[in-house]
Amino acid sequence: MEEAFDVLAKYARKEELEELPDDVAAVIKQMQGIVHTGGRYEVVTEEGEDGTVEVVVYTLRRSRRLGTSKYPGWERTKKLAELKLDEEAQERVQELYERVSQRLA
């Protein structure tokens, strides 16, 4: 799911995002804004016991310290969004991710 959000933020077209639930599309549009301005973000996902997936997006900044991000030299600065995706939303994200990936191949 982390890779899906990353690919959609970098390569999905505006009209493609309209197929996603509104809250998911809004977060991906924010991520696109970060990408276009040269910023960086980190997507963290965690599966719930009830079949949902929790997605948290953090903005990042360069850091000389070890940092709090999985990316060396970067640390988390702000929690941009927190989403809880049910199975239907997960399927819609996955389908769009697959279509965008095929277009890029």
Pairing state between β 40-47 and 53-62: antiparallel
9-59 pLDDT per residue, tens: 999 999 999 999 999 999 999 999 999 999 999 999 999 889 999 999 999
d(CA 32, CA 85): 20
Domain ranges of the chain: 2-100
Is pTM beyond 0.85? Reply is: yes
Q: How confident is the model at residue 67 (pLDDT cuts 50, 70, 90)?
A: low
